[in-house]
């Protein structure tokens, strides 16, 4: 995923922007009765595509389409700069989400650049902590 690519549901529904814009420009050329795609058709298609991207951003925001990851993201944002440790994350789901599923959700949040999960050494088992991006510790 490139740095400027949208994450989550927005990225899913707006993927392949270049191909979609080209298809739209073909439709505009046909509607215009033109045998070729001109710059005006590309400009119109690109303007419409920007509108589509803005609409997707409005509709989906930063949701990922994963119930566990979306709920975890909301909780780590609400927790502020300290985020949530592994125990707090498990308790968020009342123990009804497996450790593997929780790890997959943390990975999804990290891949989408929405949260960072770190491992802190302790006297016993290491402590996992997830903090939402944009919050300072």
Query: What pLDDT shows up at residue 1?
Result: 45
Residues 6+ apart with CB under 8 A from 67: none
Pair 122, 102: CB distance under 8 Å: no
pLDDT at 125 over 60: yes
Q: pLDDT at residue 21 above 60?
A: yes
pTM over 0.85: no
> What's the topology of domain 67-132?
Arc Repressor Mutant, subunit A (1.10.10)
| pLDDT per position as a tens digit, 27-77 | 999 999 999 999 999 999 999 999 999 998 888 877 888 999 999 999 999
Residue ranges with strand state E in 57-126: 84-85, 115-120
Give 117's strand partners.
Answer: 130
Crossing angle for the helix pair 67-79 and 99-111, to the nearest 10 degrees: 70
Tokens at residue 45, please? 């298609």
Domain ranges in the chain? 8-60, 67-132
């Amino acid at each position: 995923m490139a740095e400027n690519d949208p994450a989550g549901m927005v990225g899913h529904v707006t993927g392949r922007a270049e191909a979609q814009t080209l298809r739209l420009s073909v439709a505009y050329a046909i509607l215009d009765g033109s045998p070729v795609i001109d710059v005006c058709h590309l400009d119109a298609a690109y303007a419409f595509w920007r509108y589509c991207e803005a609409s997707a951003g409005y509709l989906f925001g930063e949701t990922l389409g994963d119930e566990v990851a979306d709920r975890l993201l909301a909780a780590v944002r609400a927790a502020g700069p300290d985020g949530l440790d592994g125990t707090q994350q498990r308790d968020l789901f009342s123990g009804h989400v497996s450790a593997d599923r929780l790890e997959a959700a943390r990975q999804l949040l990290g891949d989408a650049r929405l949260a960072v999960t770190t491992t802190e050494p302790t006297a016993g088992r290491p402590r996992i902590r997830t903090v939402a991006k944009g919050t300072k510790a």
